Amino acid sequence: MISVILCGGSGARLWPLSRAHYPKQFLDLNSDVSLLKETINRVSILSSSFYFVANEEHRFMVAEHRRLSGVEGCILLEPVARNTAPAIAVAALQAVMDGQGDEAMVVLPSDHLIPNDAAFREYLKSAELFAKEGLVVTLGVQPTRAETGYGYIHSVVEVDEVSGARIVQQFTEKPSLADAEQFVKSEEYFWNSGIFIVTPNRYLSLLQEYASEVFLSAQESFEQRRADMDFVRLSKAHFEKSPSISIDHALMEPLCASSESVVVIPFEASWSDLGSWNSLWEVVDKDLDNNAIVGDVLAQDVTNSYLHSSGRLLAAVGVDNMVVVESSDAVLVVDKNKVQNVKHIVQQLEMEKRSEYLHHREVYRPWGKYDLIGAGNGYQVKQITVSPGAALSLQKHQCRAEHWIVVKGCAEVVQGSEAYRVYQNESTYIPIGEIHSLRNPTQEDLVIIEVQSGDYLGEDDIERLDDQYGRV
C-alpha cells in the first residue's frame, strides 16, 4: 500500500496546548511520541511509499517527524488551505507520476488516536482488496454515544461476511443532537473516521467526474509545481482556484447517491479523533476519582476532571467535571460540557492578533527552537537551542542589537567579515545593523542566552541574506 498523511489542521479545540503554528498532530498527548509519528509508525510496516500533505508553516516540523520515524516520503506543500479533496488529489497525482497509480492508497489524518496498531493494519488489508477492485473504502467506527461533532455513515446491506463490509447509502456531516440520537438508536450508522482507501487512478477519475473544478485546479497546480529542498511546492495561482471542500462533500456524498461504489468496513477497535479535551479525557488513564492528571498537579476533592500542567505546579480543590490546562503562557479553565466552545476563545485571540493564538512561548524553527524567557521595555531575553549541524540564517537587524552567551556547546559565529568560535561560558556582541550568523558545528545541542536590546524587537526585523532552509 501507499500512505497519504494529511498534516494540516489547527486543532483549535485543544488550545492552549495546540496552536496554529504547532497544532495537535505534533504534540505528545497520549504517549512519548507525537500523534504524527504514531500515525507513521502505525502503517510503516504496510507502506511502500509515503506522501505527506502539509502547509508552509509546518513544513520543517513534518520533515523532522518524518526523519525521526525513519521513513522516506514526498512532502507536498499546500500554498493555501483548501480542505481534504484537493489535498488528496495532489498526493494522488504524485503517486501516479511515481508509477503507483494502481496501488491501494490509504488516506490518513495525522492527528487521530488508534491504540491497537495491529488490529488497524488488518482492517487496512481487508480494505486493500476492495480498493483494487475499483471501490472506495472507508472505515466506520461503531458509535458509543450521540456525538454531534462527528460525521455519520449510513449503511445496511452487507457485501462481505469476513470483513463485515457494507454498501454505504449516505454520508451525513455533523448532525443535530436529535438526529444523532436516532442514528445511534437505529444501529445502522457509523462514525466517519476520515480514513479512506482507494487507488490514486480511481480517486482522480472519480474526482474528475463528480468535482471537476477541484480536479482541474489540483492538476494545474501540480503541473506547475517546483522542487524546494525536500519539498514540492504547488502553484498557488492554480491551487487557490479550487473550492475549499472535503472529500466527503466533493466525492463521497454524490458517489453514494448515484452508485454502489463506496463500502464501509466496521472498525471495532478503539479510535478517537481527539477533537476536544473531552475526547482526550475519555481515552487516557484515570485515577480512582476518575481524573486524568498530567504533569505537576495536586488535587484535593476533585472528580471527573482533566488536569494538565506543562511546567508549573497546578493545584485544584473541590471541582468536578472540569478541564484545567496550564501552559507556559496561558491557562484554560472550562466545564467539560462546554469544551467544544474553546474554539471561540481561539477565534477571539485571532481577532485581537494575540500571539497566544499562533504559537507557544517556545517557538520551533528549522534550525531548532527558542523560548522567550523574559521581556521588558526595550529588551527581551531568549533561550536559543540550535540542533547539531544546524545554522541560523546570515542576517542583520535595523532596530536591535544582540548579546549572545553560550551556556552549552560551541557556537560558530560570523560577524561582518570575521568568523570565530564562542565556547561555554563565553559571550559575544552583535551591534545594530551588523551582518551575522550562528552555526552549531558539533554533534550536540547548542544552547545560548540571547539578550536583545533596541527600540523595536519584533520578529519581522530580520533581513535574511542567505539561508540553508530557503527562507531568504
Hey, how many other C-beta atoms are within 10 angstroms of the C-beta on 176?
10
Distance between CA atoms of 298 and 290, rounded to whole angstroms? 15
Per-residue pLDDT, 347: 95
Distance CA 39, CA 6 (A): 10
In sequence order, the β-bridge partners of residue 52 are 5, 75
In this prediction, residue 160 carries a pLDDT of 83
CA neighbor of 62 nearest in space, from 360, 273, 469, 366: 366
Query: Residue 36: enclosing H or E segment and its boundaries?
Result: helix 35-43
What order do you get walking across the sheet with 362-365 strand by strand?
362-365, 368-376, 379-386, 446-454, 400-408, 427-430
Alpha-carbon distance of 472 to 468, in angstroms, equals 9
The neighbour count for residue 430, using CB atoms within 10 Å, is 23
Domains, in order of start, for the chain: 2-267 (3.90.550.10), 277-345 (no CATH), 362-466 (2.60.120.10)
| pLDDT value of residue 220 | 97
CB count, 10 Å around CB of 316?
Answer: 18
Q: pLDDT at position 349, please? A: 95
Pairwise CA distance, residues 36 & 42, whole Å: 10
- The cell for 139 is 472505515
| pLDDT tens-digit series, residues 263-287 | 999 988 788 888 899 989 998 999 9
Query: What is the rounded distance in angstroms from the CA atom of residue 232 to the CA atom of residue 80?
Result: 14
Q: Which of 87, 53, 106 is nearest to 243 (CA)?
A: 87
Phi/psi-derived region of residue 21, left when phi > 0, alpha when psi is between -120 and 50, beta in every other case: alpha
Q: Rg of the chain over CA atoms, in angstroms?
A: 24
Give backbone dihedrals phi and psi of 206, rounded to 5 degrees, phi first.
-65, -40
Q: Give CA separation, 450 vs 29, 228, 371, 427, 429, in Å.
A: 31, 31, 10, 10, 10
Nine cell digits for residue 31:
504517549
pTM listed for this prediction: 0.87
Query: Which residues, given as ranges, of the chain have pLDDT below 70?
Result: 472
Size (the chain), residues: 472
Predicted pLDDT at 62? 93
Pull the grid cell for residue 400.
536591535
Measured CA to CA, the distance from residue 470 to residue 78 in angstroms comes to 17
Among candidates 7, 131, 12, 23, which has minimal Cα distance to 75? 7
**C-alpha dihedral (447, 452, 456, 461), degrees to nearest 10:** -40
* Beta bridge partners of residue 391, listed in sequence order: 439
Which residue in this structure is represented by grid cell 474553546?
Answer: 342
DSSP states along 48-74 = SEEEEEEEGGGHHHHHHHHHHHT---E
